[in-house]
Structure 1
Amino acid sequence: MSVLDRLAATVESRKGADPDSSWTAKLLAKGPEKAAEKFGEEAVEAIIEAVKGDRARLTSEAADVLYHLLVMLAARDVPLSDVLAELERREGTSGIAEKASR
C-alpha cells in the first residue's frame, strides 16, 4: 500500500468524525465547496513556489496539494482508486491525442 493509499484511507476514516478531533474532519464537515476552496489555495501556493524555484518549499506545498486533493475527492465520494484507474487508462496515450478525444 502506497503512502497515497494510506493517506486516502485516513482521510476516508475521518468522515463523520468530530471536527474538533482532526483537521481533516473539520475540512470535511465544512462541505465539498470548502474542501475545493482549500485545494485551490494550496495549488496556488505550489505554483508560487514553483515560480520562485525553491525546491524545499515546492516539495512541501506539493504535499499539501496532494493531501487537500484527497480531502476534496473524499468530500465528493470519489475514491483515489477511481483517479488511479483513470490515469492507468490514459497511460501510454499522447497528451495531445487524449485531449483531442474529449
Structure 2
Amino acid sequence: MSDSLLPLDRLMKTLAERAETRPAGSYTTKLMDGGTAKIGKKIMEEAAELIEAADEPGDEGRNHLIYEAGDLIYHTLVLLAYRGVDLEEVASELARREGTSGLVEKANRNAPQ
C-alpha cells in the first residue's frame, strides 16, 4: 500500500468510529446527525468550490485546488462512514472497473437488464 493512502485509511477509521460513537462537539458528529441531506449538501458545496478553484491561476490557485479537494474527499468519506461503507469497498469497485472504458461502463449502467 502506498504511503499516500495511509492518511486516508486513518481518517476513514476515525470517521467509522465517530459514526458509531457520535462524540459531542465533533464536526463529524454534527454532519452525521444531519443525515444524508446535511452531508450531501456539504459535498455539493465542496464540489462547487473545487471546480471554482480549478480555474484559479498559478501556485496559489493550485494550492487552493488541493485544499478544496481535501474538503471534498473528507466530506465524501463522512458520507461513506455514515452509510457503513469502507474505503476498501470503494477501492474494490474501482478495481472492478479497471481496464474498462468509462464510456463502456456508463453504457453498461444504462443498458436494460
Q: Which residue of 1 aligns with 2:42?
A: 38
Mapped to 1, the partners of 2:42 and 2:51 lie a distance apart of: 14
- Where in structure 1 are there 5+ consecutive unaligned residues? none
Mapped to 1, the partners of 2:79 and 2:108 lie a distance apart of: 26
Count how many residue pairs are aligned between Structure 1 and Structure 2.
101
C-alpha displacement at 1:57, in angstroms?
0.1
1:49 equivalent in alignment to 2:53: yes
C-alpha displacement at 1:32, in angstroms?
1.7
What RMSD, in angstroms, separates the aligned Cα atoms of the two structures? 1.4
CA radius of gyration, larger in: 2
Could you tell me which of 22, 46, 51 is aligned with 1:17? 22
C-alpha displacement at 1:79, in angstroms?
2.0
1:68 equivalent in alignment to 2:75: yes
Regions of 4+ moved over 6 Å: none
- Sequence identity of aligned pairs in percent? 47
Give TM-score scaled by structure 1 length: 0.89
- Where in structure 2 are there 5+ consecutive unaligned residues? none
| Aligned amino acid, residue 34 of structure 2 | K
* Higher share of residues assigned helix: 2
Would the aligned equivalents of 1:19 and 1:29 in 2 still touch at CA under 8 Å? no
Q: Could you say what secondary structure the match of 2:23 adopts? A: coil
| Aligned amino acid, residue 28 of structure 2 | T
1:90 equivalent in alignment to 2:110: no
| Aligned amino acid, residue 45 of structure 1 | E
Mapped to 1, the partners of 2:93 and 2:34 lie a distance apart of: 28
C-alpha displacement at 1:95, in angstroms?
1.3
Question: 1:42-100: CA deviations, max 9, x gaps?
Answer: 11100100122410000000000000000011222222221111001011111122112
